[in-house]
């Protein structure tokens, strides 16, 4: 029988979930729609759309090393509330972006704030959850993003109507204000400050490089999909391309029912392998899609893959460091993810001058074989060794 100490849905966890949900649905109102806004309203060429995702992710990358250090040394709640406040303020600048350059600039500033909040959330949720159920709890916490991914794009398209982008931007900003309000209600356990001095070694956690590098490679594909999925849906004749996000979210939601429990009980090896296989199959189906059914099947398969891979790798990252180093470990994990998402969106976006979006998605599917192979020959043994050391210390 579980003790109350092992309960997942404490008041803190519920409030933090609500904060994450409001922030995530605001994010989902913006991210899929900004490429359409850039091309349809601001007249940006398709080959430059990757700069929206790239600027956002690379700006987050710049701030993350300092964010992890600040969260560990200055207090996680204090830093998180400040970051959420900044995020809310900057969100109100989207309606003022009258040129593509200004849009990229605002998006990049938003990326700085996102770099702060996402780094902090990874450490905070680990502080709130009991160790024995951490993978399961992180999976449930990810439902905030799953639900917002399912609802956000469809609601955004409905709100936007006939190019009502400014109305959409305003509602997204208000949602992020609610996220800020909920974040101020969180109460965290007393935090032990690490003794390391601030330098390059203290800003990044080398023990999580291998796991984080896998998510960087996955991020290359996710950045490409996020940038071009709605444009691609129009190319293949799908009227409401937003159904991709619904199908993707269904796939992710299914994984939340079993992934965390399986990983906590049996380890990540076979679960993550299944995730990669599903993701690869999904993006290959996407590259071959000619109609709505195959498009939705691809979305569900990719959701299954992402819903397994990302929380598993995040939990693996947290599991191999001490509690006082979770902030910098999360920094390292997300920083490498930002490199993948941002770099992939920009570089592969430039490829659209020379290859079709259909071919680009196919190449992305083949590319995912690389992290799958590395997971088995380069990561798992290293992870098991480091996990044993941390477990022995406790």
Q: Which of 371, 345, 333, 311 is nearest to 57 (CA)?
A: 345
Q: Which CATH superfamily is domain 8-183+203-393 in?
A: MFS general substrate transporter like domains (1.20.1250.20)
Residue 322's region, left for phi above 0, alpha for psi from -120 to 50, else beta, is: beta
Secondary structure of the chain in the HEC alphabet?
CCCHHHCCCCHHHHHHHHHHHHHHHHHHHHCCCHHHHHHHCCCCCHHHCHHHHHHHHHHHHHHHHHHHHHHHHHCHHHHHHHHHHHHHHHHCCHHHCCCHHHHHHHHHHHHHHHHHHHHHHHHHHHHHCCHHHHHHHHHHHCHHHHHHHHHHHHHHHHHHCCCCHHHHHHHHHHHHHHHHHHHCCCCCCCCCCCCCCCCHHHHCCHHHHHHHHHHHHHHHHHHHHHHHHHHHHHHCCCCCCCHHHHHHHHHHHHHHCCHHHHHHHHCCHHHHHHHHHHHHHHHHHHHHCCCHHHHHHHHHHHHHHHHHHHHHHHHHHHHCCCHHHHHHHHHHHHHHHHHHHHHHHHHHHHHCCCCCHHHHHHHHHHHCHHHHHHHHHHHHHHHHHHHHHHHHHC
Is the CB of residue 133 less than 8 Å from the CB of residue 255?
A: no
Listed by start position, the domains of the chain span: 8-183+203-393
Tokens, residue 194: 């690490």
Q: What is the DSSP string of 341-359?
A: HHHHHHHHHHHTTTS-HHH
The tens digit of pLDDT for each residue in 101-160 reads 999 999 999 989 888 887 788 778 877 877 667 767 776 777 777 778 777 877 887 787
Indicate the angle between helix axes 326-351 and 100-128, nearest 10 degrees.
150
Q: What is the pLDDT of residue 1?
A: 37
Count of helices and strands (H, E) across the chain:
18, 0
The Cα 162–Cα 82 span in angstroms is 36
Which residues of the chain carry a pLDDT beneath 70? 1-6, 131-132, 135, 139, 189-202, 394
Our CA angle for 275, 252, 13, nearest 5°, is: 115
- Using a 10 angstrom Cβ sphere, with 0-12 exposed, 13-18 middle and 19 or more buried, the burial of residue 86 is middle
């Amino acid at each position: 029988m579980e003790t109350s100490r092992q309960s997942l849905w404490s008041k803190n966890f519920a409030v933090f979930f609500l904060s994450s949900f409001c922030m995530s649905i605001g994010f989902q109102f913006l991210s899929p729609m900004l490429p359409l806004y850039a091309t349809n309203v601001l007249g940006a060429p398709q080959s430059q759309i990757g700069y929206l995702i790239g600027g956002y992710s690379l700006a987050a990358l710049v701030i993350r090393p300092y964010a992890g250090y600040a969260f560990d040394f200055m207090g996680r709640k204090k830093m998180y509330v400040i970051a959420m406040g900044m995020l809310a303020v900057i969100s109100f600048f989207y309606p003022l972006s009258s040129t593509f350059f200004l849009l990229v600039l605002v998006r990049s500033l938003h990326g700085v704030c996102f770099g702060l909040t996402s780094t902090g959330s990874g450490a905070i949720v680990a502080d709130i959850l009991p160790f024995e159920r951490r993978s399961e709890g992180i999976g449930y916490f990810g439902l905030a993003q799953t639900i917002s991914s399912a609802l956000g794009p469809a609601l955004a398209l409905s709100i936007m109507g006939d190019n009502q982008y400014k109305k959409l931007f305003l509602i997204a900003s208000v949602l992020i204000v609610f996220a800020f309000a909920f974040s101020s209600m969180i109460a965290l356990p007393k935090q032990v400050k690490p003794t390391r001095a601030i330098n390059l070694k203290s800003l990044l956690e080398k023990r999580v490089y291998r796991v984080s590098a896998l998510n960087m490679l996955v991020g290359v594909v996710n950045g490409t999909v996020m940038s071009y999925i709605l444009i691609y849906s129009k190319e293949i004749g799908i009227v409401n391309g937003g159904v991709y996000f619904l199908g993707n979210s269904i796939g992710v939601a299914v994984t939340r029912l079993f992934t965390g429990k399986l990983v906590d009980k049996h380890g990540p090896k076979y679960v993550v392998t299944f995730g990669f296989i599903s993701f690869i199959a999904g993006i290959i189906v996407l590259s071959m899609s000619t109609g709505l059914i195959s498009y939705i099947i691809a979305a569900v398969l990719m959701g299954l893959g992402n819903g397994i891979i990302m929380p598993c790798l995040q939990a693996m990252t947290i599991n191999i460091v001490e509690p006082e180093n979770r902030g910098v470990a999360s920094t390292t994990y997300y920083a490498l993810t930002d490199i993948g998402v941002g770099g992939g969106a920009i570089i592969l976006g430039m490829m659209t001058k020379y290859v079709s979006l259909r071919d680009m998605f196919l190449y992305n599917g083949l590319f995912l074989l690389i992290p799958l192979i590395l997971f088995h020959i380069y990561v798992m043994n290293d992870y098991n060794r480091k996990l044993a050391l941390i477990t022995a210390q406790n």
